[in-house]
Amino acid sequence: MNKFLSNAGVCSRREADEFIQKGAVKVNDVVVTELGTKITRQDVVTFNEKPVQIESKVYIVLNKPKNCVTTSDDPQERLTVMDLVKNACQERIYPVGRLDRNTTGVLLLTNDGDLASKLTHPSFKKKKIYHVWLDKNVAIEDMEKIANGLELEDGEIHADAISYASEDDKSQVGIEIHSGRNRIVRRIFESLGYHVTKLDRVYFAGLTKKNLGRGKWRYLNEREVNALRMGAFE
């Protein structure tokens, strides 16, 4: 059941399990709450009282702007990433992973639930590169600490690569990391006494924001989609 819902673009497989347990899914007009329920082509599935059908897969990369939340719906009615791509397709797409409200840069949106689950699973390592602006110059000793590894409250973390983003400004840093832990880049620098004033993701799982203005989006090409599906990226 969760695979069917993810393939239909309703949500990721993990989210589908939560919706099933909450009673939001019906099969042939009967609420189903048992995980692992099998269905056939003849079954009629509804989610929140709306019929669910398999959709064409859509893949979009967005250059997320500041003051924009990474969610499908916001109770506070703030600008969401879905507002920026609302005219992109009829299919129900959703963001893969999260960027903080004030973090900008590369964000993937899709209705491919299997791919979304793979890219957000902790065991699936995908390269991310961030451009980080700090409130003061970063000491070379701290750069070395980040490269060698730091102990945070949720375990050790180290950058795969780190360097100054500008020879003339030591308060700007480029950091490459594979971890998907929450607010990891901000927490790395906060642990050393720095405050991140601006954070921009320039690379995610093979995707960049090249030629994309802030707040703009584009469809992925076939080569990019195949690379994501096969994990053919760093």
List the catalytic residues: 100
Please provide the distance, in angstroms rounded to a whole number, between the alpha carbons at the two ends of the chain.
31
Distances (CA, A) of 123 to 90, 120, 188: 32, 9, 20
Contact in structure between 7 and 53 (CB atoms under 8 Å): no
Residue 135 has which token pair?
Answer: 């409130």
Contact in structure between 63 and 215 (CB atoms under 8 Å): yes
* Residue 168, SS3 per DSSP: coil
Query: How buried is 226 (Cβ within 10 angstroms: 0-12 exposed, 13-18 middle, 19+ buried)?
Result: exposed
CA-CA distance, 16 to 172, in Å (whole number)?
A: 40
